[in-house]
Amino acid sequence: MTRTLPQLAPLSSTPRQRRRWARGSRWQRLRWRGEVLLLRLLLGLLRGRRHDAVRRGIEVVVPLARPLLRGRLDTASSNLERVYGAQLTGVERQWLARRSLEGFLLSCLESIIEPVAAERIRAEGEGLEQLLAARRPGQGVIVASLHLGCWDLGLRWLSERIDDLAVIYRPARNPDADRLLNATRSANSRCTWISQFDLRSMLIWLRRGGALVVMTDLYAHKHPLTVDVLGLNTRVVRTPLALSQKTGAPLFPVAQVREDDGHFRLIFGPALPPQSGEAGLMAQAQALADWQEPWIQCYADQYYWIQRRWRAGDGSGARLRALEPPAPRVLAAARPRA
């Protein structure tokens, strides 16, 4: 039976964003309007474009735009050196950094361009059936995604099968651009969008039995949990784990990747139930990181290395254990292009 959850207020008109608009100077508001015009033009050019054509276009544009993208590429290369050390050559790190950036850009556009054919998508994993099965009234679930491969394509697939799906996202600073982007994403993915700053709405959604998609591999600025991620001491975001503990919602890890033959693979891990206390949060965080690691290793060319996940002076980045190099398929792809 389809359950209907009360709709939350549109997030682009939250008090936080209204205050930002009110404080904006006349020049800033004009700039925001200009950004929206450019965004409308870009979206108009992208709508209906085929996935393979957009992917090839990104592979052409990124090398040409390297001077503008140098900061992101350098961050990715530094992260790869921190994680893998001398196991990767400089050329391999540069190749993986570029592939990471190309994959990130493609993932951002996959919610806008023409959807890929359903037969190119394969879903699997121990937790798939349990996640999609009917839940008891009031039983929310948390889908713990990560910045690996085609996460927006995976979101679209889930939204076609879960009728009460909401996504935690980072709002754009420009309120008008935020409204436009959410409307564009919603045309392809039937989701509710909840601001990462709106904890109250997250709790309401879960307590009413909704499914909440959260990116769990982001840098934690405040109140982090510190666990072993890829063999390094890493600050992880507490929010999805605390939501799981507070509401009793199980946490389902998921990874979405692009295969070399042009197909897409969605992998669903078994539920990670909440545990009590601070030790319970740590245990759940570590179990999640342990599940994610093999997929990052196998598809290291598709991971979000461009994020500054380990930073000087915050206690992160210390080596906790030795880590194997990325899977042979990754390095085999890197060497011919070197």
* pLDDT, tens digit, 9 for 90 and up, residues 248-258: 999 999 999 99
Q: What is the pLDDT of residue 175?
A: 83
Q: What is the rounded CA–CA span in Å between residue 21 and residue 26?
A: 10
pLDDT category of residue 24 using cuts at 50, 70 and 90 = low
Q: Strand, helix or coil at 6?
A: coil
SS3 of 192, please? Answer: strand
What is the structure's pLDDT at 3?
Answer: 46
DSSP type of residue 193: E
Neighbours of 106 (CB within 10 A): 22
Residue 83's H or E segment, with its range, is: helix 66-84
Cα distance between residue 77 and residue 74, in whole Å: 5
CB count within 10 Å of CB 271 equals 16
What is the C-alpha to C-alpha distance for residues 220 and 136, in angstroms, rounded to an integer? 32
At 284 the pLDDT is 97
Least reliable range by pLDDT among 26-35, 90-99, 208-217, 297-306: 26-35
Q: Is the pLDDT of residue 179 over 60?
A: yes
Q: What angle do CA 197, 199, 202 make, to 5 degrees?
A: 120
Which tops the pLDDT comparison, 145 or 41? 145
Q: What average pLDDT does this structure show over 120-138?
A: 86
DSSP symbols for 241-273: HHHHHHH---EEEEEEEE-TTS-EEEEEPPPB-
Question: What is the Cα–Cα distance from 54 to 32, expressed in whole angstroms?
Answer: 27
b/e code 176-215 from CB counts within 10 Å (16+ = b): bbbbbbbebbeebbebbbbbbebeebbebbbeebbbbbbb
For residue 14, pLDDT over 60 is answered with no
146 pLDDT above the threshold of 70: yes
Supply the mean pLDDT for the chain: 87
Q: What is the pLDDT of residues 181-230, one digit of tens each?
A: 888 777 777 888 999 999 999 999 999 999 999 999 999 888 899 999 99
What's the pLDDT score for residue 245?
Answer: 95
Confidence of residue 4 (pLDDT cuts 50, 70, 90): very low
* Residues 220-243 as b or e (16 or more Cβ within 10 Å = b): beeebbbbebbbbbbbbbbbbbbb
Enumerate residues 6+ apart whose C-beta is below 8 A from 42.
none
Q: What is the pLDDT of residues 292-328, one digit of tens each?
A: 999 999 999 999 999 999 998 888 999 999 999 999 9
One DSSP character per residue, 105-143 reads HHHHHTTTSPPPPGGGEEEE-TTHHHHHSPPPTT--EEE
Residues 49-76 pLDDT 10s: 898 999 999 999 999 999 999 999 999 9
As a whole-number percent, the residues of the chain with pLDDT over 70 amount to 90
